[in-house]
C-alpha cells in the first residue's frame, strides 16, 4: 500500500504522456486542492500490472508530472488535473506543486459555475433557440452571445439590437422590458412571453457581477408549447385516466367548457362530470384552480391533504 517511490535515478524517454495521464487519473488519492509531485498519489497495486509501473521502477522518474484534485463531490463528480513535463526537460520541484495548488480553487469555481450554467440552459438544447444578453438600466448592451447580432429580431420577440442598445418597434414591448430590468436591479427575476419568445430578466449571476451593479441578465428563447407535457405530469401525479388527461390538456388551452367538450367529442354534462372527478382527485374545489395548478406544475395541495 506504499506510494510509488524512486528505486534509482535516470531519465524516462519515449513514453507517451497520454498513457501516463490515463493511468494516473483512474487512481488519484488525496483531498481536493492538494497537489503532490509525480506518482505520490498512486498506490503500487493500482498500477502494478502496467508497463508504466515497470518504467518508473526501473528508471525512478517520480517527478515527471504534478497532479491535483479539483473537486470530488456528488454535484461535481471527481475532477483532476495532471501536468506532464517534456521528457527532455528538468524534473518538477515542489514549487510547481505549490503553483498548481493555488490554481485549483479557481479551476473548481470556474468548472462548477460552468456546470450550473449548463444545467440552467439544458432546456435550450439547440443554440439557435436561445440568446442571452447583459444590459444596463438604460438597455445599453454590455454583452451579447453569438446569437445576439446587430439588426434582426431576437426569436420573434420584436426585440432587436441597434447601435449597441436593445430596441423594439413596439413601444409596449420596450416598456415591459424596461420595467423588468428595473425589478431585476432590485433583485427580482421575471419571466414572460412576448410573441413567439420566452423572456427572462434576472440579476446578474455571481460569475458576471464584475460587469457592474447596474447591469442585468436577459435571456430570450424560442417559446415552446409545454402544455401537453405539463398536463401529463400533473395527470400522472394524481392518477388521472387517459380521458381525464386529454380533458386537462384541452382545458389548459381553451377556457370555454362547451368548446372543450366539442374538441374532446363529449357532451357538456359528461365533461362537467369528468372535471368534478378530476377536482376531487387533485384536491381542488374549482376547475379554475385545477387548471392554474397544472399550468404551474403545483402539486402542493396533495401534500397538505
Q: What is the pLDDT of residues 215-241, one digit of tens each?
A: 999 888 777 778 888 999 999 999 999
Does residue 301 have a pLDDT over 60? no
* CA gap 32, 76 in Å, rounded: 12
Written as nine digits, the cell of 276 is 368534478
Residue 286 burial by Cβ neighbours in a 10 Å radius (0-12, 13-18, 19+) = exposed
Residue 181's CB: how many other CB atoms inside 10 A?
21
Q: What was the pLDDT predicted at 277?
A: 95
Residue 154 burial by Cβ neighbours in a 10 Å radius (0-12, 13-18, 19+) = buried
Q: What was the pLDDT predicted at 62?
A: 60
* CA gap 256, 250 in Å, rounded: 10
Does residue 77 have a pLDDT over 50? yes
Q: What is the mean pLDDT of residues 182-202?
A: 88
Task: For the chain, list the domains and their CATH numbers.
Answer: 17-120 (no CATH), 127-222 (3.30.450.20), 227-304 (1.10.10)
Residue 216's CB: how many other CB atoms inside 10 A?
24
Helix (H, G, I), strand (E, B) or coil at 37: strand
Regarding predicted confidence, which is higher, 262 or 150? Answer: 262
116, 76 Cβ separation under 8 angstroms: no
Q: What is the torsional sign of CA 69, 118, 229, 239?
A: positive
Q: Of 62, 68, 108, which Cα lies nearest the Cα of 85?
A: 62
Kindly give the interhelix angle for 257-264 and 242-253, rounded to the nearest 10 degrees: 130
Does residue 80 have a pLDDT over 80? yes
> Locate cell 485549483: which residue?
104
Q: Of 221, 180, 231, which Cα lies nearest the Cα of 201?
A: 180
Written as nine digits, the cell of 244 is 381525464
Per-residue pLDDT tens digits for 9-38: 233 333 333 333 333 333 334 456 666 665
Amino acid at each position: 500500500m506504499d506510494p510509488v517511490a524512486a528505486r534509482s535515478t535516470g531519465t524516462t524517454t519515449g513514453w507517451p504522456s497520454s498513457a501516463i495521464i490515463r493511468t494516473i487519473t483512474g487512481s488519484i488519492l488525496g483531498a481536493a486542492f492538494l497537489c503532490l509531485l509525480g506518482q505520490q498519489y498512486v498506490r503500487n497495486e493500482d498500477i502494478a500490472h502496467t508497463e508504466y509501473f515497470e518504467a518508473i521502477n526501473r528508471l525512478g522518474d517520480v517527478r515527471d508530472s504534478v497532479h491535483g484534485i479539483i473537486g470530488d463531490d456528488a454535484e461535481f463528480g471527481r475532477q483532476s488535473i495532471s501536468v506532464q513535463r517534456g521528457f527532455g526537460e528538468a524534473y518538477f520541484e515542489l514549487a510547481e506543486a505549490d503553483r498548481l495548488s493555488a490554481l485549483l480553487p479557481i479551476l473548481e469555481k470556474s468548472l462548477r459555475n460552468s456546470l450550473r450554467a449548463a444545467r440552467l440552459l439544458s432546456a435550450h438544447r439547440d443554440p439557435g433557440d436561445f440568446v442571452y444578453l447583459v444590459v444596463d438600466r438604460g438597455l445599453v448592451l454590455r454583452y451579447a452571445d453569438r446569437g445576439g447580432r446587430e439588426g434582426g429580431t431576437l426569436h420573434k420577440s420584436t426585440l432587436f439590437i441597434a447601435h449597441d442598445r436593445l430596441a423594439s418597434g413596439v413601444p409596449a414591448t420596450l416598456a415591459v422590458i424596461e420595467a423588468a430590468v428595473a425589478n431585476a436591479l432590485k433583485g427580482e427575476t421575471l419571466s414572460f412571453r412576448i410573441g413567439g419568445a420566452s423572456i427572462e430578466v434576472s440579476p446578474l449571476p455571481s460569475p458576471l457581477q464584475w460587469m457592474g451593479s447596474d447591469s442585468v441578465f436577459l435571456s430570450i428563447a424560442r417559446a415552446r408549447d409545454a402544455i401537453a407535457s405539463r398536463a401529463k405530469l400533473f395527470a400522472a401525479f394524481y392518477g388521472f385516466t387517459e380521458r381525464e388527461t386529454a380533458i386537462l390538456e384541452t382545458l389548459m388551452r381553451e377556457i370555454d367548457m362547451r368548446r372543450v367538450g366539442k374538441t374532446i367529442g363529449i357532451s357538456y354534462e359528461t365533461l362537467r362530470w369528468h372535471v368534478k372527478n378530476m377536482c376531487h382527485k387533485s384536491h381542488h374545489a374549482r376547475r379554475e384552480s385545477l387548471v392554474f395548478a397544472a399550468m404551474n406544475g403545483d402539486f402542493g395541495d396533495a401534500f397538505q391533504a
